[in-house]
Amino acid sequence: MSAALDARRIRLRVRGTVQGVGFRPFVHQLAAALQLDGFVRNDGHGVLIEAQGAQLDAFVDALRTQAPPLARIEAIEREDVAAAAAAGFAILRSEAGEARTRIPPDVATCDACLADAADPGSRFYRYPFVSCTHCGPRYTITRRLPYDREQTSLAPFALCAACRADYADPRSRRYHAEALACPRCGPRLSHPIEQVVAALRAGTIVALKGLGGFQLLCNARDDAAVRRLRQRKARAHKPFAVMVGSLEAAAALASRALEPLESELLGARARPIVLLPYAGALAPAIAPGLSHLGVMLPCSALHQLLFVDDQSLALVATSANPGGEPLVIDGDDARRRLNAIADMVVDHERAIVVRADDSVVRAHAAGAVFIRRARGYVPEPIDLGSDGPAVLAVGAHQKATVTLTRGREAFVSQHLGTLDNAATLDFLEQSVAHLVALAGVRPERIACDLHPDLASTRWAERQGLPLVPVQHHLAHVAAVMAEHALRAPVLGVALDGYGYGADGAAWGGELLRVDGRDWRRVGHLAGLPLPGGDRATRQPWRIALAVLQRLGLDDARFADIDAARTLRRWLPAMPVPQSSALGRVFDAAAALLGVCTAQDYDGQAAMQLEALASASAAVEPPEDGAGFALADGVLDLWPLLRALAAPQLPARRGAALLHATLAHALDAWIADAAAVHGLRTVALGGGCMANRVLADALLERLRRRGLDVRVAHSVPCGDGGLSLGQAHWAREAACAWQSPRASSNCCLAHKPESASMV
């Protein structure tokens, strides 16, 4: 290398996802190839480089164009500095400081490492924790930044001589691989893989410590084992996901050829659970009453080894979270809390720092849609398009997430669950603390749901920060606006099951006119009765009974339900709350058609109706006016419910009629509002958009009209994306600072007597 002191020397600050991705080894090798002197190091801001020599421009160009596959470069800041004596090019020890960089998500084991695990001549042969700079866990093992081994759960494991040699060899893909380990020096599994597989084949329920937490596994072809797991986990009907060993095995479970996007999602580095059309080849108890099955490929070498000797094996793989609590991540905790569910607990010595469920995605005609965003995608930020204050948002109640903004980035946490127990609230606090530590910012404001009695709202009030309550459906729309960096006024459409309305009523089928400074409700669905309030959402027969009575139709079809006999007598005289939610229309329809009169899990009725519609021949919606009425922004679907209440209507045809009519009615409703308010951009959100039959048909209709329709792709369309919308609105909308619970309309509404967690 050149020793001339008059050579040019530059300092580069590289920002983005550049730690934990093999970036420093890449820089070292590139500098050597271009005969440059200098150094590279990690620090709290990303990667710092000084380079000196004759080919600096080529060096900078190659940084941008040839970076490692997991790297995401957002900026390279360049300045000239004084030349120094030649000293080669070195990787220096990381420099601690305020964290302003990012850690990548966990990444599935790469093909090269899997080949090592399959090679009897490799020291990694059948080693469950093989990894390199291009693959393996990142987020779930990292305690803090910068990303170095001592900052991860691999810190207790000193490298053996062979691993030290790999770590120091610029020619190795394990050069400076911080999660490097082998059977001689790394974590060990509590049971041999062969013993685990034999137990699964014999019908044993196994609790396996995975990447983000323990999973409950059993043989997916053994109906008795699946039913036993349901009984022990108290999960009567909610579908289980299935893991198989290859894309070919996944395709064999589908009822049709996989779409290219479905294949792409299955093989993605994140290895999410992908909803596929299901041929019904596994145990009947896996997904009762549904047409789609969640399928995933192995996300680690540990999981891949379960299938190495039997590619026909299919395993139920579900989260180990007893009683609706967060995922179990500790071996001792697993042996205590899972002992009534699992027959065998398979532990290992690599600690899980951050729990993270498996992500769930679905392919729609318009692209991939998240059902749950967690392992493999978190903590990748969402670009908000512009800088703004640091805001923490805490979501709502079900499918909770939290979001922290930093500059133009929004970091959305992994799925937290439903905030109805102390353990999940603890998980929320832990997730906030971890995001704050990794992002290196402290929030200036905190956003929450408008509902005054949610656990997340009460938690937000205790933090001693300026409080920004955000209406539930506004947050759904704002999440779509945030992802697409929409600034101009939009017509927001929110379709879900429940949200606390600005008037205190139950909303869920809403048209909102939203711009950067204001919002107002400009339309909604006609109300449906909810006898018993929240109880009606779990027992759809209550809604259907009230619908039949209001329509003047025979309501005796629910006479075999004890509570229905009493309710029939009292209903005409009792006050009944109303809901404008589209989700309640699905519930009423499911009960009227005899598909689902009581729900074991959220969305069961709608999912079963979608399954029937998917299996039905196409049905034309009634002509205009026959299935709905539209006046002054109110969409009345009572004519549709009357049609679905017809005696002897087959459930499959009724489900197809429901979906076809809804697509037609919603299209007319949205188009009418867009014309009235002079808007061409539509932000469409809410949990009902996870329904592919409805979403695909509605989007096709709206786009044929020339409307610019945007939907959520980076976060779930349902409540899992609410925290992003809350954070976006809290940053962007001046009117959002007016807190309805502040005694004097003060925007700094909070509880100063409480201790701050952030």
* Predicted confidence (pLDDT) per residue in 519-535, tens digit: 999 999 999 999 999 99
Rounded CA gap, 699 and 678, in Å? 19
* Confidence band for 103, pLDDT divided at 50, 70 and 90: confident
Please give the structure tokens belonging to residue 738: 């007016």
Higher pLDDT, 609 or 754: 609
Strand partners, 10: 51, 80
Handedness of CA 226, 232, 236, 241 (dihedral sign): negative
pLDDT of residue 22: 82
Residue range 460-485: mean pLDDT, rounded: 97
Query: Residues 586-603: what's their mean pLDDT?
Result: 96
| Confidence (pLDDT) at 739 | 41
First and final CA of the chain: distance in angstroms? 49
Which residue has better confidence, 97 or 353?
353
Region of poorest pLDDT, from 45-49, 110-114, 343-347, 669-673: 45-49
| 69 vs 750, residue with greater confidence | 69
Residues 325-331 have a mean pLDDT of: 95
Q: What is the pLDDT of residue 98?
A: 56
Please name the residues in contact with 721: beta carbons below 8 A apart, sequence gap of 6 or more: 370, 401, 412, 476, 479, 685, 712, 715
Nearest to 477 by CA among 502, 501, 494, 464: 494
The structural domains of the chain, ordered by start, are 9-91 (3.30.70.100), 193-349 (3.90.870.10), 369-488+717-758 (3.30.420.360), 525-678 (3.30.420.40)
- Other CB atoms within 10 Å distance of the CB of residue 736: 24
- Strands (E) located in 573-653: 578-579, 629-631, 634-636
| 709-745 pLDDT per residue, tens | 999 999 999 999 999 999 999 998 633 444 433 322 2
Q: What is the pLDDT of residues 74-99, one digit of tens each?
A: 889 999 999 988 788 988 887 765 55
220: tokens are 């997916």
pLDDT band at 324 (very low <50, low <70, confident <90, very high): confident
Over residues 341-348, the mean pLDDT reads 98
Judge residue 74's burial from the number of C-beta atoms within 10 Å of its C-beta, 0-12 exposed, 13-18 middle, 19 or more buried. Answer: middle
pLDDT (average), residues 640-660: 95
pLDDT, position 589 = 98
pLDDT at 736: 40
CA distances for 550 relative to 438, 558, 576, 600, 641, angstroms: 55, 15, 12, 27, 11
Checking if the pLDDT of 517 tops 80, the result is: no
The pLDDT of residue 44 is 73
- The whole-number pLDDT of residue 592 equals 97
Name the band, by pLDDT with cuts 50, 70 and 90, for residue 265. very high
Q: The tokens of 552 are what?
A: 């003047």
Query: In which band, very low, low, confident or very high, does the pLDDT at 303 lie, cut at 50, 70 and 90?
Result: very high
* Average confidence (pLDDT) over 413-439: 94
d(CA 38, CA 598): 68
How many CB atoms are located within 10 Å of the residue 96 CB? Answer: 14
Mean pLDDT to the nearest integer, 101-110:
87
Work out the mean pLDDT of the chain and round it to a whole number.
Answer: 92
59 close to 8: Cβ distance less than 8 angstroms: no
The torsion angles phi and psi of 320, rounded to 5 degrees, stand at -95, 80
Flag whether pLDDT at 148 surpasses 90.
Answer: no
Residue 679, pLDDT > 70, answer yes
350-354, 474-478, 558-562 — which is least confidently predicted? 558-562
Beta bridge mates, 492:
512, 683
Q: How far apart are CA 390 and CA 159, in angstroms?
A: 40
**757, pLDDT greater than 50:** no
Task: For residue 40, give the 3-state DSSP assignment.
Answer: strand
Report the alpha-carbon distance of residue 129 to residue 270 in Å, rounded. Answer: 17
Q: What's the confidence (pLDDT) of residue 2?
A: 44
Helix-, strand-, coil-residue percentages of the chain, each rounded to 5: 35, 20, 45
**Which residues does residue 635 pair with via DSSP β-bridges, in sequence order?**
525, 630
Beta-strand relationship, 403-406 and 367-372: unpaired
The pLDDT value recorded for residue 616 is: 86
pTM of structure: 0.90
Is residue 144 scored above 90 in pLDDT? Answer: no
| Helix 604-614, helix 651-677: angle, nearest 10 | 100
Q: Residue 295: what pLDDT?
A: 98
Q: What is the pLDDT of residue 1?
A: 43
